[in-house]
Amino acid sequence: MRILLYSGKGGVGKTSVAAATGLHLARRGYKTLVMSVDPAHSLADSFALKTSLFDAATADPYAVRPNLDVQEVNIQLEIKRHWQEISSYVTSVLRTSGLSDVEAEEMAILPGMEELSAMMYVNQYRRGKTYDVIVLDCAPTAESLRFISMPTTLEWYMKHIFTVERNVLKAIRPIANKLSPVELPNDSYFANVLELFGKIEGIDSLLEDPQATSVRLVTNAERMVMRETQRAFVYFSLHGLTVDNIIVNRVLPPEADGFFRGWREAQAAVIGEMTGYFDPVPLRQAPLFNEEVMGIERLDRLAEVLYSTDEDPALVTRDERPYTFGKNEVRLLLPFAVKGEVGLFKKGDELVVEVGTLRRHVGLPTSMAALEPARARLEDRTLVVEMRPLA
Ligand SMILES: Nc1ncnc2c1ncn2[C@@H]1O[C@H](COP(=O)(O)OP(=O)(O)OP(=O)(O)O)[C@@H](O)[C@H]1O
Ligand SMILES: [Mg+2]
């Protein structure tokens, strides 16, 4: 199964490009699902489905065409399906703090629940071989990052906190429940966490496998949007995901000259810069259409400019992993990070890499676990970290 993940700054055209790609894939015969991971869903609107504004019809796969389903994860429904114990515990705690039932229920939607639910579905469809390709329509960059870092965060929690927490609570519950104003989580809460963890298990290696998952960044030909795209590229690399394509959407066509001439020249300059920055990752362009891209017919037009008829968007075109482990060195593809912004240290058997405000724990292979970072240099768009034995 292939996963194509579309991310990028707000409003650049992620949903439109993901939907158009889904149509093209379905036409080529792939059993395709386009799934929205953005809590502010707009897939149904993009396909102009005849569902009402707040319809839950797309909460489960909804057939748009032969071979093509869409799904918009609905958090209220997911809570009932997957999060019942966790959520009723959090709700009960919040209620003791004076919130009304409705308020407490609203607050008990924890950050990340939506993303995790989406991941459970991806895993479920993979295990059930339900689809050939899943196209993920992500939320703007920052939330997409929460989506991809969720498995690692959860794994960390399970490894370092979960068992200890459960055991400590088991031991102190009889006394603590007398002293504490709030009820402590009970066995069913922990059972729910374990069950959820089982459902997303393996998803991290799926996301980091370039044969399975490719990230495509949608952008516009504007300098500010480009800068966010560069950051997104670094963040995805840092998380071990392979970006294989940059899609520059809404490029002004020549007939836009007149009022937009200056804009068009500026766009051409930005596209030139982008080509250099992202090389060897190829750029693909789509023009600004003279109307909103909404409904299957217009999405098809977008697909036509994005892909030639016999082109296969599911093809693996880049299989270079952002991380590689050489003899006594770790290599990390970081095209535009500047040296001063990169921090490195060792924690347990993990190498911690910091770029700007982002931090990633990289599990080291056993052969390197006894080494620590000695020196780092930027070489041909790659951060090379030399490792030496612990002093
Ligand atoms: N190439 C294009 N030409 C004309 N209109 C476009 C084009 N691409 C997208 N649009 C329109 O721009 C608007 C935003 O597009 P879209 O919803 O795909 O962006 P998005 O990146 O998914 O936004 P969000 O960050 O809100 O999820 C929509 O109305 C869409 O129809
Ligand atoms: Mg969108």
DSSP for 43-87, written as a single string: HHHHTT-S--TT--GGGS-EEEETTEEEEE--HHHHHHHH-HHHH
Looking at the chain, which runs of residues are DSSP E strands?
A: 2-8, 32-36, 62-65, 68-72, 133-137, 213-220, 243-251, 283-287, 323-326, 329-333, 342-347, 350-355, 358-363, 371-379, 382-389
Cα–Cα distance, 221 to 198 (Å, whole number): 42
Q: Is 9 in the pocket of ligand 1 (CB under 6 A)?
A: no
Domains and CATH numbers, the chain: 2-79+113-148+203-306 (3.40.50.300), 323-389 (2.60.40.790)
Q: Is 292 in the pocket of ligand 1 (CB under 6 A)?
A: yes
DSSP label of 365 = P
pLDDT, position 182? 65
pTM: 0.88
Is residue 387 within 8 Å of residue 372, measured between CB atoms? Answer: yes
Q: Is 290 in the pocket of ligand 1 (CB under 6 A)?
A: no
pLDDT, position 188? 77
pLDDT, position 271? 98
Distance 332 CA to ligand 2 centre (A): 30
Calculated CA dihedral for residues 253, 255, 257, 258, nearest 10 degrees: -150
Cα–Cα distance, 127 to 32 (Å, whole number): 15
pLDDT, position 306? 98
DSSP label of 158 = I
pLDDT, position 391? 74
Q: Is 16 in the pocket of ligand 1 (CB under 6 A)?
A: yes
Distance 46 CA to ligand 2 centre (A): 9
Cα–Cα distance, 81 to 60 (Å, whole number): 12
What is each CA distance from 197 to 119, 214, 381, in whole angstroms?
11, 24, 36
Cα–Cα distance, 152 to 210 (Å, whole number): 17
Cis peptide before 280 (omega within 30 of 0): yes
Atom of ligand 1 nearest to the CA of 18: 18
Rg (CA), the chain: 23
Ligand lying nearest the CA atom of residue 9: 1
Ligand lying nearest the CA atom of residue 225: 1
Q: Is 14 in the pocket of ligand 1 (CB under 6 A)?
A: yes
Ligand lying nearest the CA atom of residue 253: 1
pLDDT, position 181? 64
Which residue's CA is the nearest one to ligand 1's atom 19? 13
| Tokens coding 52 | 């009402």
Distance 18 CA to ligand 2 centre (A): 9
pLDDT, position 267? 98
Cα–Cα distance, 228 to 220 (Å, whole number): 10
Q: Is 144 in the pocket of ligand 1 (CB under 6 A)?
A: no
Which residue's CA is the nearest one to ligand 1's atom 8? 13
Q: Is 356 in the pocket of ligand 1 (CB under 6 A)?
A: no
Q: Is 48 in the pocket of ligand 1 (CB under 6 A)?
A: no
Among 369, 366, 359, 365, smallest CA distance to 390 is for 369
Q: Is 10 in the pocket of ligand 1 (CB under 6 A)?
A: yes
Q: Is 12 in the pocket of ligand 1 (CB under 6 A)?
A: yes
Among 196, 32, 229, smallest CA distance to 116 is for 196
Cα–Cα distance, 296 to 288 (Å, whole number): 17
Report the sign of the C-alpha dihedral through residues 46, 75, 12, 273, in that order. negative
Q: Is 286 in the pocket of ligand 1 (CB under 6 A)?
A: yes
pLDDT, position 79? 78
- Mutation test residue for ligand 1: of 16, 70, 222, 290, the one with most atoms within 8 Å of CB: 16
Given a cut of 70, the residues of the chain with pLDDT beneath it are 54, 86, 89, 93-98, 104-111, 176-177, 180-183, 337-340
Cα–Cα distance, 4 to 110 (Å, whole number): 26
Helix (H, G, I), strand (E, B) or coil at 218: strand
Is residue 349 within 8 Å of residue 297, measured between CB atoms? Answer: no
Q: Is 140 in the pocket of ligand 1 (CB under 6 A)?
A: yes
Q: Length of the chain, please?
A: 391
Cα–Cα distance, 159 to 162 (Å, whole number): 7
pLDDT, position 23? 98
Cα–Cα distance, 13 to 18 (Å, whole number): 8
Atom of ligand 1 nearest to the CA of 249: 1
Ligand lying nearest the CA atom of residue 10: 1
**Around 278, how many Cα atoms within 13 Å sit in the side-chain half-sphere?**
29
pLDDT, position 197? 80
Distance 293 CA to ligand 1 centre (A): 7
